[in-house]
Copies of this chain bind each other. A is one copy, B any other.
Amino acid sequence: MQSVIPVPLPQNAYAIAIAPGSLDHIGSWLTGETLTLKPQSKILVVSNPMIFRAYGQRVIDSLTQAGFQVTSCILPAGECYKTPATVQKIYDAALENRLERSSTMVALGGGVIGDMTGFAASTWLRGINVVQVPTTLLAMVDAAIGGKTGVNHPQGKNLIGAFHQPRLVLIDPQVLKTLPMREFRAGIAEVIKYGIIWDAELFEKMEQAKRLDQLRYVDDELLQEILTRSCQAKAHVVNKDEKESGLREILNYGHTIGHAVESLTGYRVINHGEGVAIGMVAAGQIAVEMGLWDQESCDRQLSLIEKAGLPTRLPDGMDIEAILTTLQSDKKVQSGKVRFVLPTAIGTAITTDQVTSDMIRSVLKQM
């Protein structure tokens, strides 16, 4: 059971490989058919302490065996460290190990590691190779694909960043076994998103699953299907719109309000996937009230989100006006108007700037 999804971008084509057990063979993947890196070239593995303890040695052994000169850089874990200051540590390691233009950074970790390593790679010597090896479900189906890299500004998520496509995304589903339950669910939120905006069949397959709230209840076949279909959805959209001028916007479904909630709770109380879950519930209800979506589909979305053990209401004591203010500093604002992605059917979504503050306020008050 193995899928290789091509992302045929005109300038920066690459592949997403979903292959159980691939972590022990990363050296071959980087010198094989999918990607041909210069033998003897330098690789900097960037990771966090926990992930590196669990998988670092296996990755380094495989890369070393394939002939690479491997060094590593361990960063503190957590969204709160996704800052310019932490990226500076990657630059320091790049300098210390004298990375060259032909060198490669390998991001071994979740979205935070992937975003920062991608950004460091895009800006070191004005751009070197990066290979994404995501270790969380969220990173596998979202962050690792599409070339978005960046860090947070104290006042807003991902305000600083660059587009930098990976040379390869290597996904080993087996690493999910050690993923904390809450993080697994966070990833499922993005998978549900793909079901709503792009792939009705994926949505239905998830509806049919007995349980979705813990990995151990999801069989290997469904997991491979979830990963493959999610990566395909993201790759399709990104492929058609590399720089986020139009279509790619639909990937922000659930993210407009989601980011605000995440940000206002300091990225801790509510994690990214949980924010997206809450954001999808809100956006779904807005779509219904605007007459764009039917209540039945909206209820099916709600049920699936609940089945995944994800939150469907705002955290207690959340200040709704603070959410509205935060929306105004969101990247997705154009000429002062907040843009929303709204579903029109399960599997289809549109974007609009016609959502009023009153509408947002009214829906959030019910949550």
Please list the residues of chain A having a beta carbon within 8 angstroms of any beta carbon in chain B.
40-41, 84, 88, 91, 94-95, 98, 100-102, 122-127, 148, 150, 153, 155-156, 159-163, 243-244, 328-329, 331, 333-335
B91 & A334 in contact (Cβ 8 Å cutoff) = no
B98 & A162 in contact (Cβ 8 Å cutoff) = no
Nearest CB of B to A162, in Å: 5
Name the residue among A125, A153, A163 with the largest chain B CB count within 10 angstroms: A125
Nearest CB of B to A237, in Å: 16
A-B contact pairs, 10 of them (CB 8 A): A84-B88, A91-B153, A123-B150, A123-B160, A124-B160, A125-B159, A125-B161, A126-B150, A126-B161, A127-B243
Closest chain B residue to A94, Cβ basis: B159
Complex: A156 Cα to B91 Cα, angstroms? 11
By a CB distance below 8 angstroms, the chain B residues around A88 are: 84
By a CB distance below 8 angstroms, the chain B residues around A94 are: 159
B331 & A101 in contact (Cβ 8 Å cutoff) = yes
Q: Given known contacts A95-B153, A156-B95, is B126 in contact with A162 (CB within 8 Å)? A: yes
B126 & A333 in contact (Cβ 8 Å cutoff) = no
Complex: A328 Cα to B100 Cα, angstroms? 10
B100 & A162 in contact (Cβ 8 Å cutoff) = no
Closest chain B residue to A164, Cβ basis: B162
Closest chain B residue to A243, Cβ basis: B127
Name the residue among A40, A98, A153, A160 with the largest chain B CB count within 10 angstroms: A160
